[in-house]
Copies of this chain bind each other. A is one copy, B any other.
Amino acid sequence: MAASVLIVGGTHGNECNGPWLVQHWGHEPSQLQRRGLSVRTAIGNPEALQANRRYIDNDLNRSFIPELLDDPSTPCLEGQRAQHLLASHGPEGITPATVLIDLHSTTSAMGSCLVLYDRRPAALALAAGCQERLGLPIYLHESDRAQTGFMAQAWPCGLALEVGPVPQGVLSPRICRQSELGLAALLDVLEQAAAGRLMLRRALKIHRHLGSLDFPRHSDGEPSACLHPQRLLGDWKLLAAGEPLFLQPDGTAIPFAGDPSGPVHTVFSHEAAYQEKGIATSLTRQEHWPIDPSWVAALQALLQA
């Protein structure tokens, strides 16, 4: 039996390029066909998409938590939606999927990247294979106590494909094209793994999450500075001590104090949706991890089960 892959667009209802692609693939399903794989699609949060809002009651991509998943009478729309997605497509669902690819866009100048939420070997193999093909960066968003319950963690193998910059609610051919290229590479890797032929040759370059920085704030809680324009030119860059971090309304910069643990690179600078989370930018450590043979073995075992 072919291994099943679920592609989700519209997990956030104001990120409209993923749903646009899902709709297009409904007309042109051949783009998703790969030997040994059964690929299907879903809209993550149809109600939020209709409303052009990130979510209605709770961020769906933070809703895969026991409090919401285990409560059959939760009034939270996204809790209900998370339950429904798992009941339909989850590992114990009606038509179970083994791999979950979650399509996102960001207002940050991050280009195309992959987001992993833990170090499970199968997703590391998938991400490494995609990085070998496209060279894109990988954000390991782990150990963040303020943010849990990501959709991709609820499937045996899962990750997010994140593309930016694009405003919320804007359909962009460039963002769609980048998403298609990233997804095609992911499916190619899965096809090779399903055939037992995936080879990884290069060390995995990871940007490991260290923490997030909030805006400086007045005593009333309102931000007293915004990100400095130099921080908005692009993420994945080294942020050295003394470099401008925030800009105050009077034109003076607040420099970065530095991180005693070593060099840091920024991600998700300028992400509109993170203002409500008190995140101006997130800091990562760039690391090179040697390929572990167990990664490919884990992915191939999942797909050939």
Contacts and interface: CB of A to CB of B under 8 A. Distances in A.
Contact of A27 (B53, B176, B249): B249
Nearest to A222: B23
Secondary structure at chain A's binding surface: helix, strand, loop or mixed? loop
Interface in A264-292: 270, 272-273, 275-276
Contact of A272 (B20, B169, B174, B222): B169
> How many interface residues does chain A have, given as a range?
35 or more
Contacts of A16: 275
A168 interface: yes
Contacts of A53: 53
Contact of A174 (B21, B165, B169, B229): B229
A199 interface: no
A174 B228 CA distance: 10
A226 interface: yes
Copies of this chain in its oligomeric complex: 2
A24 interface: yes
A169 B168 contact: yes
Given A28-B249, A249-B28, A276-B52, A223 B168 contact: no
A107 B169 contact: yes
Given A167-B107, A222-B23, A172 B275 contact: no
A67 interface: no
A137 to B, nearest CB: 21
Contact of A167 (B23, B168, B176, B223): B168
A171 B52 contact: no
B228 A173 contact: yes
Interface of A: 16, 20-21, 23-24, 27-28, 52-53, 107, 165-174, 176, 222-223, 226-229, 232, 247, 249-250, 270, 272-273, 275-276
Given A28-B249, A107-B169, A171-B223, 17 more contacts: A20-B223, A23-B222, A24-B249, A27-B249, A52-B272, A52-B275, A107-B170, A168-B168, A169-B272, A169-B273, A169-B275, A170-B275, A171-B226, A173-B226, A173-B228, A173-B229, A173-B247
